[in-house]
Structure 1
Amino acid sequence: MSIMAYQSVFRTELFKGHVALITGGGTGIGRCVAHELASLGAIVVVAARRREPLEQTRREITENGGQAHVELVNIRDEESVDTLIRNVVAKFGRLDLLVNNAGGQFLSPAENISVGGFRTVLELNAVGTWTVCRAAMLQWMKEHGGAIVNIVADYFNGFPLMVHTGAARAAVDNMTKTLCQEWGKFGIRINSVAPGTIISSGMQNYPPPVQQMITGGFHTENPSGRLGTEAEVSSAVVWLLSPGAAYVNGACLRVDGGSSLSKAAMIPHPDDIPIKAFLGYSNASRLGERDIPPAFGELLAQYAAKKTTSKL
């Protein structure tokens, strides 16, 4: 075997003889995970709807001595997913590792998202992930065990401009915790990884003004002072799939540089006060200031005097 192009931090042949399925494996984070697992000896199957990026990933891996194969799938279609899992098991005789990375969304203020658009993203990201998990469990892992990692997102403080995917990713994370409890008896471990803002091909989906906002200043607005890389997400996925994480089940590993704890808002908040404050005291300028530093008392007075458009 030639020297692998991908330089993993994990030991060589960690997954030798294992079969790994990565949905959405032709681009971005999924492609990176496929490269790393192949570099560690796994037989990798990359699956998605479009053949061209899958074939490109397969060529990249095989040209560097790895084993990679392509399967087409529409994760929104149950029959397509069942066929995918059946093909993998028939070809390789097993399915040890599953990474649910396939998904999609679009950027939009919540009020502009139609019911149909909202439903489509939930069906793809949440129902699609469930469909693949269920098929893998029923067709192989229920009898033989396995490890699953679901890719979610940094939805923990809401997801402005992508309410649909925030709802879907939260659903997947909760589903992961539920399946951990129900499927542990089958020898199945299932965890999720929540990437923050990652430098990836997915950035092409954002319009130029958003790209400029991210690269112009937002990229430093977290404790690590930068954006993340595909390889950093992949390392987390690989660790969760590995024997080293044998006692990790139902967890959500945040790979976000601490951004979910402290970060800039993706959308600007108003400088005025659109939502009227409730102060309680009839004489807010005096009673409401008891034991409060003067500067904050001034704020209370401003809140009491503020006229807003809110009817609440």
Structure 2
Amino acid sequence: MSADYAGKHVFVAGASSGINLEIAHGFARAGAKVTVLSRSADKIEAAAAGIRETGAEAIGISCDVRDYEGLEAAYAEATGKFGSVDVLVSGAAGNFLAPAVKLSANAFKTVVDIDLLGTFNVFRASFDHLTKPGASLIAITAGQAVHPSAFQIHACAAKAGVNMVTKCLALEWGPAGIRVNAISPGPIGDTEGMKRLGGDPAREQQIKNRLALRDYGTKADVAEAALWLSSPAAKYVTGTILNVDGGNDVGDASANALG
């Protein structure tokens, strides 16, 4: 992605590791000043330090996305350092496999609170700190938002809500010059999510065989999508759920004779 983010302030929530940290690195490589946020003070400072080692400006802030007042303070700190937020990525999430009959109400609530309430909090608390017009907001959702999955009732419900938060805010905040979109990654290799959900090598191959592109994506694939969505090339794109999933959303390609 050739877009220049020099001087821009990018804020990434849930960025201590994985896809969200790679997104932060992607924007840093493109010249942005980056704020990364996550619950663990030690992990988020390590993440920020890793970005600074590349020569980019970065700070890490410890905050739970369920803590609205904490987020307000985080934005005040971040904008005091780097100015208004040009790009905001909300990606904090929690997930695990569990049959509904063994899932406690508290466990269900925990995932919904992190994924759905957390996304709302991250976006809502940002409003007074955004560059207007011009800000780009991106939620990280998942295919479970539109495809019912066994043992994933909590994640399916939460991500379906994230999709609607994205679309509703696109409607409401568009007149202020704020674009709101979401990225829905498919199976992405070398992530904690695939380690938990992908299972052993046989299960991994089974998943790959279902994909039209026959392989897992990379964290860089998702980062590149975020860079594009926030660039002038996507200035007329809002309220969109962008699938970065190797064709996972279009169906099971395992019977495709050409594959």
TM-score, L = length of structure 1:
0.77
Matching of residues 140-289 of structure 1 within 5 Å:
140-141=129-130, 143-155=132-144, 156-203=146-193, 206=196, 210-263=199-252
Give 1:270's aligned residue. none
Give a deviation string over 1:125-167, Cα, whole Å, max 9, x none. Answer: 0011101100101x22385541100000012221222111111
Q: CA deviation at 1:220?
A: 2.2
Aligned length: 253
Q: CA deviation at 1:233?
A: 0.9
Give 2:257's aligned residue. none
Matching of residues 42-121 of structure 1 within 5 Å:
42-121=32-111
- Amino acid paired to 1:37: F
Which one is further off, 139-148 or 165-174? 139-148
Counterpart Cα distance in 1 of 2:56 and 2:222: 20
- Amino acid paired to 2:187: T
In structure 1, stretches of 5+ residues that fail to align are 1-8, 266-312
- Amino acid paired to 2:157: A
Is the Cα–Cα contact under 8 Å of residues 19 and 43 in structure 1 kept in the other structure?
yes
Query: Which structure has the larger Rg?
Result: 1
Give a deviation string over 1:53-73, Cα, whole Å, max 9, x none. Answer: 323322222222112111111
- Structure with more relative contact order (C-alpha pairs < 8 Å, separation 6 or more): 2
In the alignment, which of 3, 6, 12 is matched to residue 22 of structure 1?
12
Counterpart Cα distance in 1 of 2:241 and 2:25: 23
- The alignment partner of 2:21 has SS state of helix
- Amino acid paired to 1:100: S
Is the Cα–Cα contact under 8 Å of residues 183 and 244 in structure 2 kept in the other structure?
yes
TM-score, L = length of structure 2:
0.91
Is the Cα–Cα contact under 8 Å of residues 218 and 264 in structure 1 kept in the other structure?
no
Counterpart Cα distance in 1 of 2:200 and 2:157: 23
Is the Cα–Cα contact under 8 Å of residues 170 and 179 in structure 2 kept in the other structure?
yes
Is the Cα–Cα contact under 8 Å of residues 142 and 186 in structure 1 kept in the other structure?
no
- The alignment partner of 1:235 has SS state of helix
Give a deviation string over 1:149-203, Cα, whole Å, max 9, x none. Answer: 0000012221222111111111111111111111011110000000111113314
Is the Cα–Cα contact under 8 Å of residues 84 and 131 in structure 2 kept in the other structure?
no
Counterpart Cα distance in 1 of 2:115 and 2:253: 26
Counterpart Cα distance in 2 of 1:213 and 1:264: 17
Give a deviation string over 1:233-267, Cα, whole Å, max 9, x none. Answer: 111111111111000000000011111112389xx
Counterpart Cα distance in 2 of 1:264 and 1:73: 41
Is the Cα–Cα contact under 8 Å of residues 208 and 215 in structure 2 kept in the other structure?
yes
Identity, % of aligned positions: 32
Counterpart Cα distance in 1 of 2:132 and 2:195: 40
Q: What is the alpha-carbon root mean square deviation over aligned residues?
A: 1.9
Is the Cα–Cα contact under 8 Å of residues 149 and 191 in structure 1 kept in the other structure?
yes
In structure 2, stretches of 5+ residues that fail to align are 255-259
Q: CA deviation at 1:206?
A: 1.3
In the alignment, which of 23, 30, 34 is matched to residue 40 of structure 1?
30
1:123 aligns with 2:90: no
- Amino acid paired to 1:106: F
Is the Cα–Cα contact under 8 Å of residues 71 and 125 in structure 2 kept in the other structure?
yes
